[in-house]
Structure 1
Amino acid sequence: MTLVALWLASSAQLYTEWQRQKDRNAASNAAARPIMAAFFDLQEERRLSGAELADPEGYQKALRAQRSRTDADVTTVQELPDSGWSAPDDIRANVVQVGRNLRKLADYRAGVDQRTASQQQTFDRYTSLISGQLNLFTTLSHVGLPNIDYLARPAIDSVWGMEMISRENALFTRGSVTGRLSATERGQLAGWIGSQHFLYDNKIVPLVPDDQAALYRKLMAGGAWKQKTTAEQKVLSGSGSGADADKFSKGLGTTWSDSVGPVAAQLQQLNATYSVTLTAATEKELSALVRRLIVTSVMGAVAVLVVVLISALLTRTLRRRISALRVAALDLQTRMPAVVERLRSGDVVDLDAELPAIQHGDDELGQLGQALNLARHSALDTTMAQVSQFRGFEKLLQRIARRTQLLIGLQMKKLSELERRHEDPEVLEGLFDLDHLTARLRRYEENLVILGGGQPQRRWRKPVLLLDVLRSAQSEVQDYRRIQIDVEDRVWLAERAVGLVIHVLAELMENAVGFSRPPTPVEVYAARVGRGLAVEIEDRGVGMDPEQYDEANRLMTEPPRMDVMSRADDVRLGLYVVARLARALDIQVELRPSSFGGTRVVVLIPDELVVEAPGRTGPAPEAADAAWPPPPEAAVADPPGVEHRTAPDADTLVTGRVGPLEAAAPVSDVWTRPPRPHPVSQTAGAPRASGTLRVDVAPDVQPLPKRVRLASLADELRDPAAGLGVPPADEQTPDRRSAPARSGATIGAFQRQSRMVRRDVPPTDHEPIDVLPQRRRIPTED
């Protein structure tokens, strides 16, 4: 394309130059004829005007005739710009200026006719008009061709030579009429004679062609030229002193007139001949320019075609080789990730067979193929080194995390023993806080195991109720009191999904609590849907941008390979953990904007992870009747104003309110020994927004023993106002939650009653459901 553009530009430049010179030459030829005619007419009118001022009767008729001829030629010059004449801007501007100057001719003639202008003024006025035309001749002779401009110089100098002779003629004519010639006029004459000889001897004859130079020499050697020269010499040498100093004889004027006429005619003929020669040379130069334009364009076109053909052949060859190299590189790009994945999996891979070397010769493309081979080797070596390093680092990370988990498990067992041993409210408060921190620490350690490529070791042997799963996840959150749980159905999760689901929900709850301002609540809602079980976690925080939601959802669907070292400064490590666990269980996690301005997370647990209520097998009814005679009322809610602290299991510590307070039960409904319970139906769901699960019992089936809230409390603990002599509860605002010691006292009373019950309860072969108000752990293997 560059070569084609260069050829087009060169051809266009040559054509433009030829067209410009052709138009300039045509404009010069069209303007030269009328201007030259006006030039000679003005010279003759100048001579006759001077004679008419000296002898009106003798020259008036001849002057009028000359003025008519001059007017015709001047009108042609003035009308030339508006006659459709096409010319360059500089030539047109000069012609227009000459036409304006010629408009002054009428004033000059009026000065002659009215005798208001002197001889010298008249001469100077006509000379100024003629000098303007001589400058126009100089402009017309420049056609833009160096050779032609050089040949045009003698033509211009020839016109100036004829102007010098014309000025002498006007002066001689005026002297012949007046009979006098002043010293000033003789000085002017001497200058014109010198300029005339200099022009013809140095600037015309040496530069014209030889044949025309011979004609000039013949003219100058002829009798007329010699007679003219003799007259000039007599005028210059005949100046005397006194009264006869300015005298000019008529005989000398006659001699001049007889000689200057033939000389002027021959000079005009020689100038016209040279103009024809100059025009022919110009046409020849323009024709040569056309030929050069054609030859250059054709040669350029041929060169372009040759270059295009060679370039096409080379390009075809190079493209074929580059395409083969590109195919090999793409094949390397396609196969290398699979090889790297196999290396990371620990497989033995034959690299030369799986990724063969690229062979493309020894030239530049071959060197490029060798560079790709080197890049392949470097990438594989680096990958193998990184795989070994990361594998060792992951093993080290998992080993450290496992050891820490053992210590955490021992710590949790120790805390459980201390909670059962102590009854002091303040001590129990501290122990429960430590238990909460330990549960959170265990989750963080499991994060390290997951990021290291392992799986949590918490295992369940039996399905777990969804509400217990949600409470266990809630207990692993720092600000758990802000979380409100609402379960629509009584749903059970498969034992293999319990631990991972708890971890996923705990991470999402932690994010919801961490990115929302206290004390705004975090609402957790769970219900069965068409494709499984849906858990929604909604906060009222600052939310995220649409691009961040898209990126987070893309992370949930396509969890990347985790590089712990490169992701160490990423604050979204919890989302990476959630993405990995969700993929392991085929759980769908989606983040959406919340109507409260925060974030709403929807966790869809598939149907295969949701199971029916596990069946429980108990002892014979007659054995149970002797041991447990519980009343129909299975549980009694807290009195108004008293917040119940639910006793969580080992993985749960729920101390916030999860549902509205129920009406208080009569104090007389305390722990009794009901008959042995029959199998209990688990099909009914728990009430929404309630902290306790409701178990529907058939009329003829006695439920398992249940804890009766506040049944084991002393009167002072159940109603402190009664022991202190304060006004009744209906006369003051109940606010028993403000005293931290009350919850500890309540828990202590529950523990005392639980120990009494455990001593009196005979052994059974089934698991009691929430029999005691103590912390019960969901069975695990760790």
Structure 2
Amino acid sequence: MASRTIRFKLYALLSLPIVALVALWAFVTGYVVGDFFELRQAGTLYDQVSAPATALATEVQHERRVSAIQLSTASGRADGLPEARGQTDRAIDDFLRRATALETTSVLSPKLGDALAEVTAQVQKLRTIRGDIDGGIVNRLQAVQAFSTITDAIYRLQDQVVTVSEIDLYQQAVGLQRISHAHDLLSREDALISGAILAGELTHDEYEAMEVLAPNRRLLLSEGVAALDDELSAPFNALLVSPTYRGLVALELEIADASTLPRDRNAWQPLAGAFSATVDRFLVSRASLLNDRADAAAGGIIAQIIIAGGLGLAAILGAVILSAKLGRRLAEELGHLRMTALELAEVRLPQVVERLRRGETVDVKADAPPIPTTGTTLEITDVARAFSTVQSTAVEAAVGEARLRHGFNRVFRNLARRNQSLVHRQLTQLDSMQRKTSEPEVLEDLYRLDHLTTRMRRQSEGLIILSGATAGRTWRNPVPILDMVRAAVAEVEDYKRITVLPMPDAKLTGTATADVTHLLAELLENATVFSPPTTMVSVRGGVAGRGFVVEVEDRGLGLQARECEAINERLASPPEFDVADSEQLGLFVVSQLAARHGIKVTLNRSPYGGTTAVVFIPQTVLTGAEGVPAGVMAGE
């Protein structure tokens, strides 16, 4: 196959499957499957939420009426109130059981969940409402209004339950909801008027409530019936023109006009009861019919899913078969390139760099051969060649950097060795001059020069350590740690500010003495430089479980927690020396010396606000010999 661009192969591979998936499965998933699940969800909500909520509303309405009658009787007791309350409690238990079932909670939306919580909160108030009624604390209107807060919460919940996406089904469901709400308003009217008939009068507040309830009931009923189609609205239309409904409306208007109970008080309850029962029956039958329509719509959607899914699957299989050959070839080429690139990045280049760091010789051509290219895709072949070029360039750069680093190290080492030799000669000369004079002023100047020269020697040794070599000074015999600390103090410029506290007897091995002295001198130098000149720096030591600990404490400003953590990390794991990072050479020297002898150095916050450097010297560089005098430095 001739070389082609990766764009051509990708388009040839992906165009047909993408077109088939977008054209067919987007339609199936976005419209058909979504509608199906929404209908199934609506059915679940009707069975688990709407039906028990409707039953609960019916029982609350019945208890509301009986409670209003009890508040209106002279004896204060109404027949059937305990039974009504028991039926309400059973409806509440059934509602809460279904509403909290896993089948229900899995399909709840946030708004529907809030509506359920509101209904639950309202039904919890029933005990208080019943207590107020039994104690005669509330009047008839207040009791009806208290029960009505529960039914209002239920109807708000019913509004949230209507979730079908089919616009026609949604409109019919909303229409039935309005009729159901109108039926609840009639129930409130019935409770007030039935109680008022027993009491013999309708209070002014109850009359004002009737002026609101009756018009709203008629409005909701007419709007709900108007929203239904012919099949669903037929029985309601017949009911609206029936003598029962006309008589009921006439009684409402009479009450509104006369501001009192109707002349024929015995006419209200038969008319209201007959109309309410008829509405209940129609609502149940219309809701059943609407559910049958939803089930039929779901069945049609399933058929659409099967047809559209089969056609889509056939198109996708054809597209996959046509693009499989190109896809397999391209995947093999990309996979080979990927494995080669990973090997280059994770194995070959790190090995070359590590060898260079160890000082080994690297042959660029032998250790970084070109990446083999076996593919036929033009872009993949170009990328492989580019990786080969990058590999060679990276190895050559690493080789050059290693040579440069070794060159810098040699320069540091040679310069430091020369300075070390001169400083050593200068120290010998100063020692000779000190022996030849006895004048105090001259001796003081010579001592000052000796101290300055000692510091110069430490700087030279620091350059040698930076180059990766050893300082060169050693002792043949063990040295007391206290003498080592004093020697470190002598190498600090502001040594007069340093207080060395008494320490237990312990000795360092001769081979580690020079490095530990240098390490401690660097820490002491930092402590004096980064603390006010009027403060003292204290040095204390003590025996630890597995070694010896020396603490250097200053009273400066201290380090921030993040800065202290970063420095401790560098001290624990010394990085490779970077010429560009020359601001903390002393700490780098400390980390190198500590790593050389297994010494652990950590910086902590001092109780006085400054910094405490803790140097843990392990048992491997200590000796248990007692009374062994300090050795003489080799070569001196």
Instruction: Compute the TM-score of the two structures, normalised by the length of structure 1.
Output: 0.42
CA drift of 1:79 comes to 6.9
Query: Is structure 2 residue 559 aligned with structure 1 residue 548?
Result: no
Q: Does 1:579 pair with 2:591? A: yes
The residue that corresponds to 2:380 in the other structure is: 365
Name the counterpart of 2:89: none
CA deviation digits over 1:608-666, x for unaligned, max 9?
3212447xxxxxxxxxxxxxxxxxxxxxxxxxxxxxxxxxxxxxxxxxxxxxxxxxxxx
SS, match of residue 441 in structure 1: helix
Structure 2 residue 190 is the aligned partner of structure 1 residue 336? no
Q: CA separation in 2, counterparts of 1:443 and 1:526?
A: 23
Taking the aligned partners of 2:464 and 2:437, their CA distance within structure 1 comes to 34
**1:524–1:311 distance in 2 versus 1, CA, 3 Å:** farther
Structure 1 residue 500 displacement after superposition: 0.5
Tell me the secondary structure at the aligned position of residue 478 of structure 1: coil
Q: 1:515 to 1:297 in 2, by over 3 A?
A: same
1:82 corresponds in structure 2 to 225
Secondary structure (helix, strand or coil) at the match of 1:537 reads strand
**Cross-structure match for 1:611:** 623
Q: 8 Å contact 1:340–1:383 — kept in the other structure?
A: yes
Corresponding residue for residue 779 of structure 1: 633
Amino acid at match of 1:342: R
State the secondary structure of the residue aligned to 1:524: strand
Q: Is the partner of 2:501 in helix, strand or coil?
A: strand
Of 406, 420, 443, 1:405 maps to 420
Alignment correspondent of 2:277: none
3-state SS of 1:459 partner = coil
On the 8 A contact 1:449/1:455 being kept in 2, the answer is yes
Q: For residue 484 of structure 1, what is the aligned residue in structure 2?
A: 499
Distance in 2, Cα, partners of 1:510 & 1:526: 18
Measured after TM superposition, the shift of residue 454 of structure 1 is 1.8
The answer to whether the aligner puts 1:530 opposite 2:548 as a matched pair is no
Distance 1:310 1:494, change over 3 A: farther
Q: How far is the alpha carbon of 1:471 from its aligned partner?
A: 0.7
Report the AA paired with residue 592 of structure 2.
R
User: Where does the alignment leave 5 or more consecutive residues of structure 1 unmatched?
Assistant: 28-77, 88-290, 615-681, 684-766, 770-776
Q: 1:600 matched to which residue of 2?
A: 612
In structure 2, relative to structure 1, the CA distance for the partners of 1:79 and 1:487 (3 Å cut) is: closer
2: distance between equivalents of 1:589 and 1:474? Answer: 18
Instruction: Encode CA deviations 1:348-367: one digit per residue, 9 max, x unaligned.
Output: 44555555543242423333
Alignment map for 1:571-720 (pairs within 5 Å): 571-613=583-625, 682=627
Q: Structure 1 residues 317, 550: closer, same or farther in 2, change over 3 A?
A: farther
Structural mapping, 1:415-564, within 5 Å: 415-564=430-579
Q: Deviations over 1:168-189 (max 9, x none)?
A: xxxxxxxxxxxxxxxxxxxxxx
Paired position in structure 2 for 1:567: 581
Assess if the C-alpha contact under 8 Å between 1:359 and 1:366 holds in 2. no
Instruction: Write the mapping of 1:75-114 to structure 2, written as runs, cut at 5 A.
Output: 82-85=225-228
How many residues are aligned here? 373
Question: Which residue identity does 2:576 align to in structure 1?
Answer: R
Match of 2:247 in 1: none
Shift of 1:14: 8.2
| Structure 2 SS opposite 1:526 | strand
- Mapped contact 1:436–1:475 kept (Cα < 8 A): yes
- CA distance in 2 between counterparts of 1:426 and 1:563 reads 45
Determine if contact 1:457/1:781 at 8 Å carries over to the other structure. no
**Partner of 1:445: helix, strand, or coil?**
helix
Q: Give the match's secondary structure for 1:457.
A: coil
Matched position secondary structure for 2:538: strand
How much has 1:401 moved relative to structure 2? 1.5
Gapped regions of structure 2 (runs ≥ 5): 1-16, 36-165, 172-220, 231-302
- Structure 2 Cα separation of the partners of residues 308 and 86 of structure 1: 48
Trace 1:277-316 onto structure 2 (pairs within 5 A).
302-307=314-319
Corresponding position of 1:395: 410
Question: How much has 1:506 moved relative to structure 2?
Answer: 0.6
Q: Distance in 1 between matches of 2:30 and 2:474?
A: 89
Any conservation in 2 of the 1:532–1:606 contact (CA below 8 Å)?
yes
- Cα deviation, 1:377-418, whole Å, max 9, x if unaligned, reads 111111111122221221112111211122222222222233
Paired residue secondary structure (2:555) = coil
Relative to structure 1, the CA distance from residue 81 to residue 341 in structure 2 (aligned partners, 3 Å threshold; closer, same or farther) is: closer
- Tell me which protein shows more helix as a share of its residues: 2
In structure 1, C-alpha distance between the alignment counterparts of 2:634 and 2:332, rounded to whole Å: 65
In 2 relative to 1, CA 513–304 (structure 1 residues): closer, same or farther, beyond 3 Å? farther
- Closer/same/farther in 2, CA of residues 477 and 299 from structure 1, 3 Å limit: same
User: Does the 8 Å contact 1:460/1:781 carry over to 2?
Assistant: no
Mapped partners of 1:502, 1:549: distance in 2: 23
- Superposition deviation, residue 472 in structure 1: 0.9
- Hey, what's the Cα distance between the residues in 2 that align with 1:779 and 1:294? 95
Distance 1:306 1:422 in 2: 107
Q: 2:27 & 2:477 partners in 1: Cα distance?
A: 91
Q: Structure 1 residues 573, 80: CA separation in 2 closer, same or farther (over 3 Å shift)?
A: closer
Cα separation, 1, equivalents of 2:477 and 2:359: 35
Cα distance change of structure 1 residues 360 and 481 upon mapping to structure 2, 3 Å threshold: same
SS at match of 1:534: strand
Alpha-carbon distance change, 534 to 307 in structure 1, aligned in 2, over 3 angstroms:
farther
Displacement after TM superposition at 1:313 (Å): 7.1
Q: Secondary structure at the match of 1:406?
A: helix
- Aligned counterparts of 1:318 and 1:527: Cα–Cα separation in 2: 69
Aligned-pair CA distance for 1:464: 1.8
Higher relative CO (Cα under 8 Å, sequence separation at least 6) belongs to 2
Rg bigger for which structure? 1
Q: Distance in 2 between matches of 1:377 and 1:560?
A: 26
CA distance in 2, matches of 1:593, 1:309: 70
| TM value normalised by structure 2 | 0.51
- What secondary structure, in the 3-state scheme, does the structure 2 residue paired with 1:600 have? strand
